[in-house]
Amino acid sequence: MPFRRASMHGALFVAALAAATLPAIAVAQDGSVEASDSGDTAWLLAATALLLIAALPGMALFQAGRTRTNAFVATLVQPAAVAAAVSLAWILVGYTLAFGGVASGWLGGGNALALMELGNVRDGLSVPESAFALFQIGCAMLAAVIMIGAWSGRARFGWVVLFVTIWSVVVLAPVMHWLWGGGWLASASGTIDFAGGTALEVSAGTSALVTAVLMGRGSDFDGERPIGLSPITLAGALLLWIGWFGLCGGSAFAANDDAASALISAHAAACAGGLARLLIDRLRGEPPRAESFALGLVSGLAAIASAALYVSPAAAALIGAAGSALSAGAAWLVRRLRIDDRLDVFALFAVPGAAGSLLVGVFMAPALGGTGYDDTMNPIAQIAGQTIGVVVVAAWSAIGSTVIALMASLAFPMRVSEASEEAGLDTAMHGER
């Protein structure tokens, strides 16, 4: 018995020693394995969760609260289905087109097709590429669901899902590669876009406006606009406020001062945007409405996305207030042009996103508290680079979304019938009463 007990103890010791040394030997033999930073990884995963709050309940409630009451459910179902479809499309091909290996600078390589061969650590960062990919899929979801409010109450469900899914791969993925994946806009023009003011908001907002024009005005366009469910709109905007912390803070891809600075800027812009919209209402002689604060808050967040890392908190507040004011003016102009962008997607996202992108060139100056310019840039060159980025992305989005919208209409008509539109999509399309 003592001999057997000693043998068992010896065997356990040998097994424990082997378990401890074999992984070290394997790592030593594989020089390609790199260690990620657990703190940075944990922050990126948490930021991705916040980003999904913005893309799903935040955007869905923000839009549903402003739509017709008989299209409320439809405005909740569409972003849910679109988010699922876009996620699968990006897992299969979207991510590699945006963030695959850089060759020509126009599209990423196919090395990450279906996410089958992701690197242990994303190049230039300290986080696993799987965590990086998940965050970027969340960004694609957010851009996709932004567009849905433009055709609220009159678009056919099948067309929406098909159009937005193809759009996310054909239009959005190249734009993200140009700006974030080592593509030509960032490398050749010097365009900077920290958290998507150009890549996500200008592209989605411009495409939304174009599709609204193609779809035509709703049957109730000239009727009195319903007040909507403003508490739900405000609740959605507050979720977007929280979720935007994930977008701006996560875009640093590290738990460091850059992330904290971006969060402060996003918070300042949101506060200034909401209050600026209330002030505009006050000057118009209107009461401080919940919907107004929600719209100002969201447009302020949209304005700061490109600039969050590069400007001071005071400059971020000015950018948020400017974005809010420009958004209000753009919404009025679009209606005067008789374009039925039903929930003001272009005005709420593309206009402040473009304004914030352009203002980066001004407020990143060290004299104004900014981080300063690269060695090869100056204020004029940076503003020129930002202008090129906004114009190129807007033009590409307009052309691409026009082609895709018309192609998708061959499979599903864009609009529901007039009878279905008058009855409401909740009843006509989704069987809700």
**pLDDT tens, residue by residue, 300-328:** 999 999 999 999 999 999 999 999 999 99
pLDDT on residue 229: 79
Rounded CA gap, 16 and 228, in Å? 66
Beta strands in 363-409 (DSSP E): none
Q: Is residue 402 part of a domain?
A: yes
Q: Is residue 107 part of a domain?
A: yes
User: For position 258, which CATH number holds?
Assistant: 1.10.3430.10
Res 96 pLDDT > 60 = yes
Task: Give the CA radius of gyration of the chain.
Answer: 24
For residue 86, what are the domain limits? 38-428
Q: Is residue 23 part of a domain?
A: no
Confidence of residue 69 (pLDDT cuts 50, 70, 90): confident
Q: Number of structural domains, the chain?
A: 1
Res 173 pLDDT > 90 = yes
Rounded CA gap, 40 and 158, in Å? 40
Q: Is residue 2 part of a domain?
A: no
Q: Is residue 103 part of a domain?
A: yes
Confidence of residue 179 (pLDDT cuts 50, 70, 90): very high
Of 174-178, 195-199, 215-219, 354-358, least confident by mean pLDDT is: 215-219
The terminus-to-terminus CA distance of the chain in angstroms comes to: 78
CA neighbor of 393 nearest in space, from 182, 244, 173: 173
Contact 247, 142 (CB under 8 A): yes
Rounded CA gap, 24 and 28, in Å? 6
Confidence of residue 222 (pLDDT cuts 50, 70, 90): confident
Confidence of residue 235 (pLDDT cuts 50, 70, 90): very high
Average pLDDT value for the chain:
90
More confident residue, 136 or 15: 136
pLDDT on residue 34: 62
Contact 386, 191 (CB under 8 A): yes
Res 13 pLDDT > 50 = no
- Per the structure block, which two tokens stand in for 348? 């709420």
pLDDT on residue 219: 83
Q: Is residue 331 part of a domain?
A: yes
Confidence of residue 226 (pLDDT cuts 50, 70, 90): low
Mean pLDDT of all residues in 114-129 = 92
Write the pLDDT tens digit of every residue in 382-409: 999 999 999 999 999 999 999 999 999 9
Structure-derived torsion over alpha carbons of residues 129, 131, 137, 140, reported in degrees to the nearest 10 = -90
Q: Is residue 68 part of a domain?
A: yes
Confidence of residue 252 (pLDDT cuts 50, 70, 90): very high
Predicted structure pTM score: 0.89
Q: Is residue 299 part of a domain?
A: yes
Residues of the chain with pLDDT > 70: what percent? 91
Rounded CA gap, 35 and 372, in Å? 32
